């Protein structure tokens, strides 16, 4: 049973560029959340997708956007990258919208130079 | 006040001793609490969940919840070097349907 898978695992981008990160949820899970984890900090909630709609959003600017596809996979897009966007981006999947018992993928390490 | 607070450590514990990790939260209505373990360079891994006041034991791990004091803790008995990691406390803030994480406590088990 595949867990949450994310791609790419590592990437380097230049300030001002755009990036797309991808996630496939754990089998049987239909809800996907994205978190940003800066070095030395806990993960911070970006947004949550269910039935192809954004259901919850954290305190992140509109430069952060996402999408969920009919097969429940999801993308996180970040436009106009800033140095401060350098972080580990974690995708998490769950069985429902409750926010409980989420399972993380291995993450995508983004470095903005 | 942060929604979820943890002592960032580092916390050093000798091998075989009990490691005690603490977390406080601000929202009195919170109902679900979680502990994640994160090894350096890896993603967080769920190790314990607790929903009711009291203790919940799973192997060498015990989670303790005191809603009146808005306090949740994790005890690791017979600590092993492989327990060295950052431990993240997460709370499902009432009505938010999302997990709010503390900054994590870095634990080192010394052989």
Most A CBs within 10 Å, among B23, B86, B97, B100, to test the A interface:
B97
Task: Write out the H or E segment, with its range, that includes residue A110.
Answer: strand A108-112
Which residues partner with A108 through β-bridges? Answer: A89
B11-70 pLDDT, tens digit per residue, is 999 999 999 999 999 999 888 999 999 999 999 999 999 999 999 999 999 999 999 999
Split at pLDDT 50, 70, 90, the class of A1 is low
Work out the average pLDDT over A74-86: 98
B51 to chain A: closest CA residue: A100
Residues of chain A in contact with residue B6, where contact means CB-CB under 8 angstroms, are 42
Half-sphere exposure of A15 (CA within 13 A, CB side): 4
Structure tokens at A5: 């898978």
Which pLDDT value is given to residue B24? 96
Candidate from A33, A55, A104 with C-beta closest to B44: A104
A7-56 pLDDT, tens digit per residue, is 999 999 999 999 999 999 999 899 999 999 999 999 999 999 999 999 98
């Amino acid at each position: 049973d595949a867990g949450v898978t994310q791609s790419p695992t590592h990437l380097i981008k230049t300030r001002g560029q755009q990036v797309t990160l991808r996630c496939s949820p754990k089998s049987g899970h239909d809800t996907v959340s994205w978190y940003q984890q800066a070095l030395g900090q806990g993960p911070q909630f970006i947004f949550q997708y269910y039935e192809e709609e954004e259901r919850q959003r954290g305190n992140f600017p509109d430069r952060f956007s996402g999408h969920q596809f009919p097969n429940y996979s999801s993308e996180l897009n970040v436009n106009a990258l800033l140095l401060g966007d350098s972080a580990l981006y974690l995708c998490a999947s769950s069985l429902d919208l409750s926010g409980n018992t989420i399972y993380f993928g291995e993450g995508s390490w983004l470095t903005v130079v | 006040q942060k929604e979820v607070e943890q002592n960032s450590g580092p916390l050093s514990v000798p091998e075989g001793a009990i490691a005690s990790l603490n977390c406080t939260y601000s929202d009195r209505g919170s109902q679900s609490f979680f502990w994640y373990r994160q090894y350096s360079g890896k993603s967080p891994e769920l190790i314990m969940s607790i929903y009711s006041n009291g203790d919940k034991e799973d192997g060498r791990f015990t989670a303790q919840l005191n809603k009146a004091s808005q306090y949740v803790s994790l005890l690791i008995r017979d600590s092993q070097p492989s327990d060295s990691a950052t431990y993240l406390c997460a709370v499902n803030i009432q009505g938010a349907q999302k997990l709010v994480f503390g900054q994590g406590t870095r634990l080192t088990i010394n052989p």
